[in-house]
Amino acid sequence: MLTIMRRTGEALYIGADRLTVTSVNAVHRSCILTIETPKTILLNGNTYEPDEHGRIVLAIATSEFFWLGMDIYVAVKLKAKHAIRLDIEAPDEVAITRKELLDSMLVKSLREEDAHAPGH
């Protein structure tokens, strides 16, 4: 199991699926997650399908869990006023990466490509 903290506005990738913490409500002990995925989500016996843009907006209590597809388990816990803890269980081949790390790797890669471009 991987445990990761996310604040309002922060995102992470679970494989190719992007999960963004849209808001955290500490008073009501709930949060809203926006998940960009082609997969179905199962929460409390209900199935949620992506909209025409490939997104699911999920309002969830900070003591609940959901299934992303058939093999990825995500539990949501309130950690602070604007932060949640996500406990994620996924197959070993599924990469779980914070969005800011992917962004920094992309910037580094683009800089390296630019440095090797003709005329530099």
Predicted confidence (pLDDT) per residue in 11-55, tens digit: 999 988 999 988 998 888 999 999 999 999 999 889 999 999 999
The answer to whether 120 and 110 are in contact (CB under 8 A) is no
- Nearest-5° Cα angle at 12, 41 to 55: 40
In a domain, 120, yes or no: no
Report d(CA 27, CA 89) in Å as an integer.
Answer: 27
DSSP state of 8: T
- How many independent structural domains does the chain possess? 1
pLDDT grade for 107, boundaries at 50, 70 and 90: low
Q: What CATH number should be reported for the domain holding residue 68?
A: 2.60.98
In a domain, 75, yes or no: yes
The answer to whether 26 and 81 are in contact (CB under 8 A) is yes
- Pairing outcome for strands 96-98 and 11-14: antiparallel
Predicted confidence (pLDDT) per residue in 41-92, tens digit: 999 889 999 999 999 999 999 999 999 998 999 999 998 888 999 999 999 9
User: Which residue segment(s) compose the domain that 34 sits in?
Assistant: 2-115
